[in-house]
Structure 1
Amino acid sequence: MNLDNHKNLITDNGFTVINNIFSDEEIEKISEVIQHIDISKETFRKSEDLFAIRQFLKEIPEVSELIFNENIRTIIKEIFGGKYFVVKSIYFDKPEKSNWYVAYHQDLTISVDKKIELPNFRSWTTKQNQFAVQPPLDILENIFTIRIHLDDTDENNGALKVVPKSHTKGIYRPEAIDWSIETERICNIQSGGIMIMKPLTLHGSNRTTDGRRRRVIHIEFSDMELPQDLKWSEKLN
Protein backbone atom coordinates (compact mmCIF):
# COMPACT_ATOMS: atom_id res chain seq x y z
CA MET A 1 0.00 0.00 0.00
CA ASN A 2 1.79 3.16 -1.18
CA LEU A 3 0.59 5.81 1.25
CA ASP A 4 2.93 8.70 0.36
CA ASN A 5 0.54 9.95 -2.31
CA HIS A 6 -2.39 9.87 0.15
CA LYS A 7 -0.33 11.67 2.78
CA ASN A 8 0.41 14.44 0.27
CA LEU A 9 -3.25 14.68 -0.77
CA ILE A 10 -4.30 15.15 2.88
CA THR A 11 -1.64 17.82 3.39
CA ASP A 12 -2.56 19.65 0.17
CA ASN A 13 -6.33 19.16 -0.13
CA GLY A 14 -7.41 18.20 3.39
CA PHE A 15 -8.74 14.74 2.45
CA THR A 16 -8.17 11.54 0.48
CA VAL A 17 -10.15 8.39 -0.36
CA ILE A 18 -8.64 4.88 -0.14
CA ASN A 19 -10.80 1.95 -1.24
CA ASN A 20 -10.42 -1.77 -0.40
CA ILE A 21 -9.27 -1.29 3.20
CA PHE A 22 -11.81 -3.83 4.50
CA SER A 23 -12.91 -7.02 2.77
CA ASP A 24 -16.61 -7.81 2.25
CA GLU A 25 -16.26 -10.39 5.01
CA GLU A 26 -14.80 -7.83 7.45
CA ILE A 27 -17.59 -5.35 6.68
CA GLU A 28 -20.14 -8.13 7.25
CA LYS A 29 -18.61 -8.94 10.66
CA ILE A 30 -18.59 -5.27 11.75
CA SER A 31 -22.24 -4.89 10.62
CA GLU A 32 -23.19 -8.00 12.55
CA VAL A 33 -21.71 -6.71 15.82
CA ILE A 34 -23.58 -3.41 15.42
CA GLN A 35 -26.87 -5.20 14.69
CA HIS A 36 -26.74 -7.11 17.97
CA ILE A 37 -26.21 -4.28 20.44
CA ASP A 38 -28.51 -3.00 23.14
CA ILE A 39 -29.81 0.27 21.66
CA SER A 40 -31.50 1.56 24.81
CA LYS A 41 -28.41 3.44 26.06
CA GLU A 42 -28.49 7.22 26.22
CA THR A 43 -25.46 7.58 23.92
CA PHE A 44 -27.59 6.07 21.15
CA ARG A 45 -29.82 8.32 19.12
CA LYS A 46 -32.58 6.73 17.08
CA SER A 47 -35.09 8.44 14.81
CA GLU A 48 -36.59 7.77 11.36
CA ASP A 49 -33.85 9.87 9.82
CA LEU A 50 -30.80 8.80 11.76
CA PHE A 51 -29.40 6.16 14.05
CA ALA A 52 -26.22 7.32 15.77
CA ILE A 53 -23.97 5.91 18.47
CA ARG A 54 -21.72 8.41 20.22
CA GLN A 55 -18.58 7.13 21.96
CA PHE A 56 -18.88 4.19 19.57
CA LEU A 57 -15.63 2.38 20.42
CA LYS A 58 -16.22 2.82 24.16
CA GLU A 59 -19.80 1.55 23.93
CA ILE A 60 -18.97 -1.42 21.69
CA PRO A 61 -15.36 -2.38 22.55
CA GLU A 62 -15.68 -5.74 20.78
CA VAL A 63 -15.81 -3.97 17.41
CA SER A 64 -12.31 -2.47 17.89
CA GLU A 65 -10.33 -5.54 16.83
CA LEU A 66 -12.41 -5.73 13.63
CA ILE A 67 -11.90 -2.04 12.82
CA PHE A 68 -8.18 -1.87 13.59
CA ASN A 69 -7.15 -4.40 10.99
CA GLU A 70 -3.63 -4.44 9.56
CA ASN A 71 -4.50 -1.91 6.84
CA ILE A 72 -5.88 0.66 9.30
CA ARG A 73 -2.96 0.23 11.70
CA THR A 74 -0.49 0.76 8.83
CA ILE A 75 -2.36 3.89 7.70
CA ILE A 76 -2.34 5.37 11.21
CA LYS A 77 1.36 4.72 11.66
CA GLU A 78 2.54 5.84 8.21
CA ILE A 79 0.22 8.76 7.51
CA PHE A 80 -0.51 10.11 11.02
CA GLY A 81 2.47 8.94 13.09
CA GLY A 82 3.31 6.28 15.65
CA LYS A 83 1.99 8.20 18.66
CA TYR A 84 -1.59 8.86 17.45
CA PHE A 85 -4.53 7.58 19.52
CA VAL A 86 -8.33 7.66 19.23
CA VAL A 87 -10.01 10.77 20.71
CA LYS A 88 -13.58 10.42 19.39
CA SER A 89 -15.75 7.89 17.59
CA ILE A 90 -19.30 7.99 16.24
CA TYR A 91 -21.38 5.56 14.20
CA PHE A 92 -23.95 7.01 11.78
CA ASP A 93 -26.66 5.10 9.98
CA LYS A 94 -28.72 7.19 7.59
CA PRO A 95 -31.49 4.70 6.70
CA GLU A 96 -33.15 4.23 3.31
CA LYS A 97 -36.02 6.63 4.04
CA SER A 98 -33.75 9.24 5.59
CA ASN A 99 -33.69 12.57 3.83
CA TRP A 100 -30.83 13.87 5.90
CA TYR A 101 -29.04 16.98 4.67
CA VAL A 102 -25.93 18.44 6.31
CA ALA A 103 -24.88 22.02 5.50
CA TYR A 104 -21.22 22.87 4.97
CA HIS A 105 -19.29 23.03 8.26
CA GLN A 106 -15.94 22.31 9.91
CA ASP A 107 -15.61 19.91 12.86
CA LEU A 108 -14.61 22.42 15.51
CA THR A 109 -15.19 20.65 18.83
CA ILE A 110 -13.42 17.91 20.77
CA SER A 111 -14.80 15.57 23.47
CA VAL A 112 -13.31 16.14 26.94
CA ASP A 113 -13.84 14.76 30.43
CA LYS A 114 -14.86 17.94 32.28
CA LYS A 115 -15.46 21.68 31.98
CA ILE A 116 -12.69 23.95 33.24
CA GLU A 117 -11.81 27.52 32.39
CA LEU A 118 -8.83 27.57 30.06
CA PRO A 119 -7.59 30.29 27.70
CA ASN A 120 -8.77 29.82 24.10
CA PHE A 121 -11.14 26.96 24.97
CA ARG A 122 -14.62 28.21 24.10
CA SER A 123 -18.20 27.33 23.08
CA TRP A 124 -18.68 24.64 25.74
CA THR A 125 -21.63 22.26 25.36
CA THR A 126 -22.84 19.19 27.27
CA LYS A 127 -24.73 16.30 25.66
CA GLN A 128 -25.51 13.14 27.63
CA ASN A 129 -22.77 13.91 30.21
CA GLN A 130 -20.34 14.41 27.34
CA PHE A 131 -18.46 17.72 27.42
CA ALA A 132 -17.49 19.27 24.09
CA VAL A 133 -15.43 22.39 23.54
CA GLN A 134 -13.79 24.32 20.71
CA PRO A 135 -10.07 24.13 21.47
CA PRO A 136 -7.23 26.33 20.14
CA LEU A 137 -6.52 25.98 16.43
CA ASP A 138 -3.29 23.99 16.82
CA ILE A 139 -5.21 21.14 18.50
CA LEU A 140 -7.77 21.02 15.67
CA GLU A 141 -5.06 21.20 13.01
CA ASN A 142 -3.35 18.18 14.58
CA ILE A 143 -6.40 15.86 14.32
CA PHE A 144 -7.00 13.29 11.56
CA THR A 145 -10.43 11.75 10.94
CA ILE A 146 -10.99 8.32 9.37
CA ARG A 147 -14.47 7.63 7.99
CA ILE A 148 -15.07 3.93 7.34
CA HIS A 149 -17.86 3.22 4.85
CA LEU A 150 -20.01 0.14 5.36
CA ASP A 151 -22.04 0.90 2.19
CA ASP A 152 -21.24 2.17 -1.30
CA THR A 153 -21.69 5.93 -1.21
CA ASP A 154 -22.02 8.33 -4.14
CA GLU A 155 -23.77 11.58 -5.01
CA ASN A 156 -27.16 9.80 -5.06
CA ASN A 157 -27.09 8.63 -1.43
CA GLY A 158 -25.53 11.54 0.34
CA ALA A 159 -21.78 11.13 -0.23
CA LEU A 160 -19.69 13.73 1.57
CA LYS A 161 -18.96 16.89 -0.42
CA VAL A 162 -15.87 18.88 0.50
CA VAL A 163 -14.09 22.13 -0.33
CA PRO A 164 -10.48 21.17 -1.16
CA LYS A 165 -7.75 23.17 0.63
CA SER A 166 -10.26 24.79 3.03
CA HIS A 167 -8.41 23.16 5.96
CA THR A 168 -5.54 25.64 5.49
CA LYS A 169 -7.67 28.72 6.14
CA GLY A 170 -8.26 28.48 9.89
CA ILE A 171 -11.84 28.90 11.08
CA TYR A 172 -13.72 29.29 7.80
CA ARG A 173 -17.38 30.21 8.18
CA PRO A 174 -19.60 28.49 5.56
CA GLU A 175 -21.39 31.78 4.80
CA ALA A 176 -18.00 33.22 3.83
CA ILE A 177 -17.29 30.60 1.14
CA ASP A 178 -16.41 32.43 -2.07
CA TRP A 179 -17.59 30.05 -4.80
CA SER A 180 -15.85 32.14 -7.45
CA ILE A 181 -12.53 30.79 -6.13
CA GLU A 182 -13.52 27.58 -4.27
CA THR A 183 -14.51 24.25 -5.80
CA GLU A 184 -16.68 21.43 -4.50
CA ARG A 185 -15.70 17.77 -4.67
CA ILE A 186 -18.07 14.82 -4.12
CA CYS A 187 -16.30 11.91 -2.42
CA ASN A 188 -17.61 8.63 -3.85
CA ILE A 189 -16.47 5.71 -1.68
CA GLN A 190 -17.00 1.96 -2.00
CA SER A 191 -18.15 -0.25 0.85
CA GLY A 192 -14.96 -1.22 2.70
CA GLY A 193 -13.24 2.00 1.67
CA ILE A 194 -12.25 4.92 3.87
CA MET A 195 -11.98 8.66 3.64
CA ILE A 196 -9.29 10.42 5.67
CA MET A 197 -10.00 14.06 6.39
CA LYS A 198 -8.69 16.99 8.39
CA PRO A 199 -11.53 18.32 10.62
CA LEU A 200 -11.03 21.89 9.36
CA THR A 201 -11.89 20.78 5.80
CA LEU A 202 -15.31 22.24 5.00
CA HIS A 203 -17.70 19.35 4.39
CA GLY A 204 -21.41 18.59 4.12
CA SER A 205 -23.76 16.16 2.38
CA ASN A 206 -26.85 16.34 0.20
CA ARG A 207 -30.10 14.49 0.67
CA THR A 208 -30.34 10.88 -0.50
CA THR A 209 -32.25 10.59 -3.77
CA ASP A 210 -32.08 6.85 -4.49
CA GLY A 211 -33.21 5.32 -1.19
CA ARG A 212 -29.95 3.50 -0.34
CA ARG A 213 -28.75 3.50 3.24
CA ARG A 214 -25.41 4.98 4.27
CA ARG A 215 -23.54 3.68 7.30
CA VAL A 216 -20.31 5.34 8.37
CA ILE A 217 -17.94 4.91 11.32
CA HIS A 218 -16.25 8.25 12.12
CA ILE A 219 -13.04 8.07 14.23
CA GLU A 220 -10.81 11.01 15.19
CA PHE A 221 -7.14 10.72 16.17
CA SER A 222 -4.60 13.03 17.84
CA ASP A 223 -1.16 12.70 19.42
CA MET A 224 -1.46 15.77 21.67
CA GLU A 225 -2.19 15.81 25.38
CA LEU A 226 -4.57 18.55 26.53
CA PRO A 227 -3.41 21.34 28.88
CA GLN A 228 -3.59 21.24 32.68
CA ASP A 229 -6.15 18.77 34.05
CA LEU A 230 -8.23 18.46 30.89
CA LYS A 231 -8.35 15.01 29.31
CA TRP A 232 -9.75 13.51 26.11
CA SER A 233 -12.92 11.77 27.27
CA GLU A 234 -12.72 8.98 24.67
CA LYS A 235 -8.98 8.38 24.58
CA LEU A 236 -8.07 4.87 23.39
CA ASN A 237 -4.53 3.82 22.56
Structure 2
Amino acid sequence: MNKEISAEGFSIISDVYSNQEIEQILAVINEVDTTKDTFRKSADLFAIRQFLKEIPAVYGLVFNSKLKSIIQSTFGEDYFVVKSIYFDKPEQSNWFVSYHQDLTISVDKKVELANFGPWTVKQNQFAVQPPIEILKNNYTIRIHLDDTDENNGALKIIPKSHLKEIYRPETIDWNFESETVCKIKKGGIMIMKPLLLHSSSRTTNNTKRRVIHIEFSNIELPKEIKWVERI
Protein backbone atom coordinates (compact mmCIF):
# COMPACT_ATOMS: atom_id res chain seq x y z
CA MET A 1 0.00 0.00 0.00
CA ASN A 2 2.83 2.42 0.81
CA LYS A 3 4.40 1.72 -2.58
CA GLU A 4 1.05 2.27 -4.32
CA ILE A 5 0.50 5.62 -2.60
CA SER A 6 4.04 6.75 -3.42
CA ALA A 7 3.80 5.67 -7.06
CA GLU A 8 0.16 6.34 -7.94
CA GLY A 9 -0.79 8.98 -5.36
CA PHE A 10 -3.64 7.00 -3.80
CA SER A 11 -4.83 3.65 -2.45
CA ILE A 12 -8.30 2.25 -1.70
CA ILE A 13 -9.02 -0.03 1.28
CA SER A 14 -12.35 -1.80 1.73
CA ASP A 15 -14.26 -2.74 4.90
CA VAL A 16 -12.55 -0.43 7.38
CA TYR A 17 -15.96 0.22 8.98
CA SER A 18 -18.93 -2.09 9.49
CA ASN A 19 -22.46 -0.98 8.60
CA GLN A 20 -23.17 -0.63 12.32
CA GLU A 21 -20.17 1.67 12.80
CA ILE A 22 -21.27 3.83 9.86
CA GLU A 23 -24.78 4.15 11.30
CA GLN A 24 -23.33 5.17 14.67
CA ILE A 25 -21.25 7.91 13.02
CA LEU A 26 -24.26 9.19 11.07
CA ALA A 27 -26.45 9.15 14.18
CA VAL A 28 -24.01 11.48 15.97
CA ILE A 29 -23.80 13.81 12.95
CA ASN A 30 -27.59 13.99 12.65
CA GLU A 31 -27.92 15.26 16.23
CA VAL A 32 -25.74 18.37 15.87
CA ASP A 33 -26.77 22.03 15.65
CA THR A 34 -26.19 23.09 12.04
CA THR A 35 -26.42 26.87 12.55
CA LYS A 36 -22.73 27.48 13.35
CA ASP A 37 -20.32 29.36 11.05
CA THR A 38 -18.41 26.17 10.28
CA PHE A 39 -21.55 24.55 8.84
CA ARG A 40 -22.52 25.09 5.23
CA LYS A 41 -25.94 24.03 4.03
CA SER A 42 -27.50 24.41 0.56
CA ALA A 43 -29.62 22.38 -1.82
CA ASP A 44 -26.45 20.94 -3.37
CA LEU A 45 -24.13 20.46 -0.41
CA PHE A 46 -24.02 20.12 3.36
CA ALA A 47 -20.54 20.51 4.82
CA ILE A 48 -19.07 20.73 8.33
CA ARG A 49 -15.64 22.33 8.56
CA GLN A 50 -13.43 21.53 11.56
CA PHE A 51 -15.56 18.41 11.78
CA LEU A 52 -13.68 16.61 14.56
CA LYS A 53 -13.53 19.77 16.70
CA GLU A 54 -17.19 20.63 16.16
CA ILE A 55 -18.40 17.08 16.90
CA PRO A 56 -15.93 15.56 19.38
CA ALA A 57 -18.34 12.72 20.14
CA VAL A 58 -17.60 11.26 16.71
CA TYR A 59 -13.84 11.03 17.27
CA GLY A 60 -13.77 7.60 18.90
CA LEU A 61 -16.10 6.22 16.23
CA VAL A 62 -14.04 7.55 13.32
CA PHE A 63 -10.70 6.40 14.74
CA ASN A 64 -11.59 2.75 15.22
CA SER A 65 -8.91 0.09 15.65
CA LYS A 66 -8.68 -0.61 11.91
CA LEU A 67 -8.14 3.02 10.95
CA LYS A 68 -5.57 3.57 13.69
CA SER A 69 -3.66 0.49 12.53
CA ILE A 70 -3.71 1.73 8.91
CA ILE A 71 -2.47 5.18 9.94
CA GLN A 72 0.37 3.77 12.02
CA SER A 73 1.52 1.28 9.39
CA THR A 74 1.18 3.70 6.45
CA PHE A 75 2.11 7.13 7.83
CA GLY A 76 4.12 6.27 10.94
CA GLU A 77 3.64 7.24 14.57
CA ASP A 78 4.37 10.96 14.33
CA TYR A 79 1.44 12.13 12.17
CA PHE A 80 -1.43 14.19 13.57
CA VAL A 81 -4.76 15.53 12.28
CA VAL A 82 -4.56 19.03 10.78
CA LYS A 83 -7.92 19.35 8.98
CA SER A 84 -11.28 17.59 8.88
CA ILE A 85 -14.43 18.16 6.82
CA TYR A 86 -17.71 16.28 6.48
CA PHE A 87 -19.33 16.41 3.03
CA ASP A 88 -22.91 15.40 2.28
CA LYS A 89 -23.82 15.60 -1.40
CA PRO A 90 -27.64 15.10 -1.43
CA GLU A 91 -29.51 12.80 -3.78
CA GLN A 92 -30.36 15.46 -6.38
CA SER A 93 -27.21 17.55 -6.01
CA ASN A 94 -25.80 19.43 -9.00
CA TRP A 95 -22.60 20.18 -7.08
CA PHE A 96 -19.44 19.36 -8.98
CA VAL A 97 -15.76 20.16 -8.52
CA SER A 98 -13.35 20.52 -11.44
CA TYR A 99 -9.83 19.12 -11.45
CA HIS A 100 -7.62 20.62 -8.76
CA GLN A 101 -4.94 19.87 -6.18
CA ASP A 102 -5.37 20.54 -2.45
CA LEU A 103 -2.79 23.30 -2.18
CA THR A 104 -3.73 25.02 1.10
CA ILE A 105 -3.55 24.24 4.80
CA SER A 106 -5.76 25.63 7.59
CA VAL A 107 -4.04 27.84 10.17
CA ASP A 108 -5.07 30.03 13.10
CA LYS A 109 -4.20 33.48 11.69
CA LYS A 110 -2.71 35.41 8.78
CA VAL A 111 0.86 36.63 9.08
CA GLU A 112 3.54 37.48 6.55
CA LEU A 113 5.87 34.51 6.21
CA ALA A 114 8.46 33.68 3.57
CA ASN A 115 7.25 30.96 1.17
CA PHE A 116 3.70 30.99 2.60
CA GLY A 117 1.02 32.37 0.26
CA PRO A 118 -1.35 33.23 -1.23
CA TRP A 119 -3.85 33.46 1.64
CA THR A 120 -7.63 32.98 1.69
CA VAL A 121 -10.37 33.21 4.32
CA LYS A 122 -13.39 30.91 4.16
CA GLN A 123 -16.08 30.93 6.85
CA ASN A 124 -13.70 32.74 9.25
CA GLN A 125 -11.00 30.13 8.69
CA PHE A 126 -7.56 31.15 7.39
CA ALA A 127 -5.94 29.05 4.67
CA VAL A 128 -2.56 29.45 3.04
CA GLN A 129 -0.47 27.68 0.43
CA PRO A 130 2.61 26.44 2.30
CA PRO A 131 6.02 25.40 0.97
CA ILE A 132 5.76 22.44 -1.38
CA GLU A 133 7.61 20.13 1.01
CA ILE A 134 4.73 20.32 3.50
CA LEU A 135 2.17 19.36 0.84
CA LYS A 136 4.36 16.53 -0.44
CA ASN A 137 4.62 15.11 3.06
CA ASN A 138 0.92 15.25 3.97
CA TYR A 139 -1.75 12.57 3.56
CA THR A 140 -5.54 12.66 3.23
CA ILE A 141 -7.97 9.93 4.27
CA ARG A 142 -11.49 9.95 2.80
CA ILE A 143 -13.98 7.79 4.73
CA HIS A 144 -16.98 6.75 2.66
CA LEU A 145 -20.32 6.55 4.43
CA ASP A 146 -22.16 5.49 1.24
CA ASP A 147 -21.44 3.38 -1.84
CA THR A 148 -19.81 5.77 -4.30
CA ASP A 149 -19.30 5.41 -8.05
CA GLU A 150 -19.32 7.57 -11.18
CA ASN A 151 -23.09 8.10 -10.84
CA ASN A 152 -23.03 9.88 -7.48
CA GLY A 153 -19.88 11.94 -7.55
CA ALA A 154 -17.04 9.52 -6.90
CA LEU A 155 -13.63 11.15 -7.13
CA LYS A 156 -11.96 11.07 -10.52
CA ILE A 157 -8.19 11.25 -10.30
CA ILE A 158 -5.15 11.39 -12.56
CA PRO A 159 -2.73 8.73 -11.31
CA LYS A 160 0.86 9.85 -10.69
CA SER A 161 -0.07 13.54 -11.06
CA HIS A 162 1.19 14.21 -7.50
CA LEU A 163 4.72 13.54 -8.75
CA LYS A 164 4.62 16.70 -10.87
CA GLU A 165 4.32 18.91 -7.76
CA ILE A 166 2.28 22.03 -8.72
CA TYR A 167 0.31 20.84 -11.74
CA ARG A 168 -2.14 23.39 -13.14
CA PRO A 169 -5.40 21.81 -14.42
CA GLU A 170 -5.38 23.98 -17.53
CA THR A 171 -2.09 22.35 -18.58
CA ILE A 172 -3.34 18.73 -18.44
CA ASP A 173 -2.42 16.96 -21.68
CA TRP A 174 -5.01 14.20 -22.15
CA ASN A 175 -2.85 12.66 -24.87
CA PHE A 176 -0.58 11.46 -22.09
CA GLU A 177 -2.74 11.47 -18.94
CA SER A 178 -5.47 8.99 -18.02
CA GLU A 179 -8.44 9.33 -15.67
CA THR A 180 -9.45 6.83 -12.97
CA VAL A 181 -12.83 6.77 -11.20
CA CYS A 182 -12.42 5.78 -7.56
CA LYS A 183 -15.37 3.49 -6.87
CA ILE A 184 -15.55 2.84 -3.14
CA LYS A 185 -18.08 0.82 -1.15
CA LYS A 186 -19.69 2.05 2.06
CA GLY A 187 -17.24 1.57 4.93
CA GLY A 188 -14.18 1.80 2.68
CA ILE A 189 -11.53 4.51 2.65
CA MET A 190 -9.29 6.20 0.15
CA ILE A 191 -5.82 7.43 1.10
CA MET A 192 -4.43 10.08 -1.23
CA LYS A 193 -1.69 12.66 -1.52
CA PRO A 194 -2.93 16.30 -1.54
CA LEU A 195 -1.03 17.03 -4.75
CA LEU A 196 -2.95 14.35 -6.67
CA LEU A 197 -5.20 16.01 -9.27
CA HIS A 198 -8.82 15.12 -8.51
CA SER A 199 -12.36 16.14 -9.42
CA SER A 200 -15.96 15.18 -8.66
CA SER A 201 -19.00 15.07 -10.95
CA ARG A 202 -22.66 15.83 -10.39
CA THR A 203 -24.96 13.18 -8.95
CA THR A 204 -27.06 11.47 -11.62
CA ASN A 205 -28.63 8.46 -9.85
CA ASN A 206 -30.41 10.13 -6.90
CA THR A 207 -28.22 8.57 -4.22
CA LYS A 208 -26.28 10.27 -1.45
CA ARG A 209 -22.51 10.61 -1.23
CA ARG A 210 -21.38 11.30 2.33
CA VAL A 211 -17.65 11.48 3.01
CA ILE A 212 -15.41 12.39 5.96
CA HIS A 213 -12.21 14.06 4.74
CA ILE A 214 -9.26 14.14 7.17
CA GLU A 215 -5.78 15.54 6.48
CA PHE A 216 -2.61 14.55 8.34
CA SER A 217 0.86 16.03 8.72
CA ASN A 218 3.98 15.44 10.78
CA ILE A 219 5.57 18.84 10.13
CA GLU A 220 5.66 21.64 12.68
CA LEU A 221 4.78 25.07 11.31
CA PRO A 222 6.79 28.27 11.96
CA LYS A 223 6.20 29.60 15.48
CA GLU A 224 4.13 32.53 14.15
CA ILE A 225 1.21 30.29 13.11
CA LYS A 226 -0.46 27.08 14.25
CA TRP A 227 -2.45 24.28 12.64
CA VAL A 228 -5.99 25.38 13.43
CA GLU A 229 -7.25 21.81 13.93
CA ARG A 230 -4.23 19.99 15.30
CA ILE A 231 -5.33 16.81 17.10
TM-score bracket, shorter-length normalisation: over 0.9
For the pair 1:212 / 2:207, whether they are aligned, the reply is yes
Equivalence for 1:118: 113
Q: CA deviation at 1:7?
A: 1.2
For the pair 1:132 / 2:127, whether they are aligned, the reply is yes
After TM superposition, list the pairs within 5 Å mapping 1:173-192 onto structure 2. 173-192=168-187
Tell me, which stretches of 5 or more residues in structure 2 are unaligned?
A: none
Give 4+ residue runs of structure 1 displaced > 6 Å after superposition.
none
Q: CA deviation at 1:36?
A: 0.6
Distance in 1 (CA, whole Å) between partners of 2:15 and 2:223 is 41
Q: 2:48 aligns with which of 50, 53, 57?
A: 53
Tell me, which stretches of 5 or more residues in structure 1 are unaligned?
A: 1-5
Letter of the 2:4 counterpart: L
For the pair 1:73 / 2:68, whether they are aligned, the reply is yes
After TM superposition, list the pairs within 5 Å mapping 1:1-237 onto structure 2. 6-236=1-231
Letter of the 1:203 counterpart: H
Letter of the 2:44 counterpart: D
Letter of the 2:193 counterpart: K
Letter of the 2:202 counterpart: R
* Equivalent position SS for 2:136: helix
Distance in 1 (CA, whole Å) between partners of 2:34 and 2:109 is 25
State whether residues 92 and 204 of structure 2, in contact with CA within 8 Å, keep that contact through their aligned partners in structure 1. Answer: no
Distance in 2 (CA, whole Å) between partners of 1:188 and 1:108 is 24
Distance in 1 (CA, whole Å) between partners of 2:119 and 2:202 is 29
Letter of the 1:166 counterpart: S
TM-score (norm: length of structure 2): 0.99
Distance in 2 (CA, whole Å) between partners of 1:218 and 1:32 is 18
Letter of the 1:8 counterpart: K
Q: Any idea what the Cα deviations from partners look like across 1:171-197, whole Å, max 9, x if unmatched?
A: 000000011111100000000000000
Distance in 2 (CA, whole Å) between partners of 1:86 and 1:135 is 17
Letter of the 2:79 counterpart: Y
TM-score (norm: length of structure 1): 0.96
Q: Any idea what the Cα deviations from partners look like across 1:196-228, whole Å, max 9, x if unmatched?
A: 000000000111110101000000000000013
* Equivalent position SS for 1:167: helix
Letter of the 2:160 counterpart: K
Q: Any idea what the Cα deviations from partners look like across 1:46-98, whole Å, max 9, x if unmatched?
A: 00000000000000001000000011101111101100000000000000010
Identity fraction in percent:
65
RMSD: 0.6
Aligned length: 231
Letter of the 2:92 counterpart: K
Q: CA deviation at 1:8?
A: 1.0
* Equivalent position SS for 1:122: coil
Distance in 1 (CA, whole Å) between partners of 2:63 and 2:163 is 29
Equivalence for 1:3: none
